[in-house]
Chains A and B, each alone.
Chain A
Amino acid sequence: MAPSQDPLYAGLGQAVRMATDLLAALIVGGGLGWACDTYLLDSTPWGMIGGLVLGLVAGMRNAYRSAQRWPKT
């Protein structure tokens, strides 16, 4: 009941985690920017561009954070 001890699977889990960390922040940033553009301000496409940039930064930050929690082996 401890598959995470297997180095192959532990590494696989970490890799999958970081990849989705990057992707999800990009989706959220772009989505928030797009929503700002369409519903709040009439600023197409700048809100989405800014949102994507911020999302990229936030994704890297999240990935960096989960890398900091990397179990020391």
Chain B
Amino acid sequence: MEESPLHQFELENWVPISLGGLDVSINKAVVFMWIVIAVAAVLMVMAGSARKLVPGKMQSLAEMMVDFIRSMILDTMGKEGMRFFPLIATLFLFILFSNLIGLIPGSYTVTSQIIVTAVFSFVVYGISLVLGFMLHGVKFLGILVPPGTPGWLVPLMIPIEIISQVARPVSLAVRLFANMTAGHVMLAVLFSLTIGGGLLIGWLPFAFTVAIYGLEFGIAFIQAYIFSILTCVYLGDAFHLHGHEEHAH
């Protein structure tokens, strides 16, 4: 049986629903999104319900996670960033759990759909824009002209900066989507080689499958971490105009 390695990403409507011409059918991705939310919520609520002074396994894992997200926010945004803790923790947990649940054979990786990652990244970027204009008003447009730009370069810098600003949500979305898709395609190709190779040579791609699976496990964490830390960075840029760059020089 030959199957395209991209077959795993195809979605068919399980429960076709149409709302005023909009296709809001329930498909595999939707169901797995619910599962991800349920698993993440149940695990975190279970871990949080104990509230012991000496934490058990679950509680200490959850405390580590909260502490990790907290220090990530404090490092990039400072104290005033803590009001975004719920947003960033939610993003981090959702992406982490959907990456991890996607690694279970037979399940579905929600983050391998570019629409999911694109919605996340554009919402985050929209929040950072709204926040920037709320805090700084028209001065926020100053991000388009980096500090220390000579006057004659300004007409050239503005289009470049506009592109680099628009590229931020695009790269955020593409990065997560491409990593998840590429990893799962690689696993599918290697495993179909294992099946095709049989006992004689099939052990070689199978060894690679196991190795790549381990790597994908790490990538699941890294991608969740990168997505949330870049969210922090972008929101932090809205707080402090040019803050980071002046320190860097």
**Interface residues in chain A, defined as those with a beta carbon under 8 Å from any beta carbon in chain B:** 1-4, 6, 9, 12-13, 16-17, 20-21, 23-25, 27-29, 32, 51, 54-55, 57-59, 61-62, 65, 68-69
Contact = CB atoms under 8 A, between A and B. Distances in A.
Interface string B196-233: 00000000000000000000001101100110001001
Count class of interface residues, chain B: 20 to 34
Nearest to A27: B170
Given A4-B225, A9-B222, A62 B68 contact: no
Given A4-B225, A62-B164, A20 B244 contact: no
A68 B167 contact: no
B92 to A, nearest CB: 11
21 contacts: A1-B64, A2-B64, A2-B68, A3-B225, A4-B221, A6-B218, A12-B222, A16-B226, A20-B175, A23-B174, A24-B167, A24-B174, A28-B163, A28-B170, A29-B167, A32-B163, A32-B166, A55-B163, A65-B245, A68-B244, A68-B248
- Give the residue among A4, A6, A13 with the most B Cβ atoms within 10 A: A13
A9 B175 contact: no
Contacts of B222: 3-4, 9, 12-13, 16
